[in-house]
Amino acid sequence: MDRISALRNIEETLRDFEAGEADLAATEERVVGILRTYATDFESEEGLRPYRATGAGQAHGLVVVAESESAARDRIADLVDVDSAALDVDVSPI
């Protein structure tokens, strides 16, 4: 899914919420699904791709976009505010 498609789908979801056709929980669920699809299908001309952290601690499950596994590890470490050498997770492409 490209960015424009994701934005259109989110806009449609918000319209349904505003029209009373969906409650907040359903709206949140749809938006999260759209964002997850966008993130896992993400492709970049700059060579960026999505990476997911798995393991223990608050970094588990985080998804970031980076040019390499080591860059992804650094980004995840920054997000959870720990030194990347102390990060107890595996980072792999999605």
Beta-strand pair 49-55/63-66: antiparallel
Predicted confidence at residue 29, as pLDDT, reads: 97
pLDDT of 1: 85
**Residue 81, token pair as written in the block:** 């505010």
Residue 88 has pLDDT above 80, yes or no: no
pTM of the model: 0.71
pLDDT at residue 86 tops 80: no
What confidence tier does 27 reach under pLDDT thresholds 50, 70, 90?
A: very high
Within 10 Å of residue 25's Cβ, how many Cβ atoms? 8
SS3 7: helix
Residue 60 · residue 93 · CB < 8 Å: no
Decide if 10 contacts 1 (C-beta within 8 A): no
pLDDT at res. 32: 95
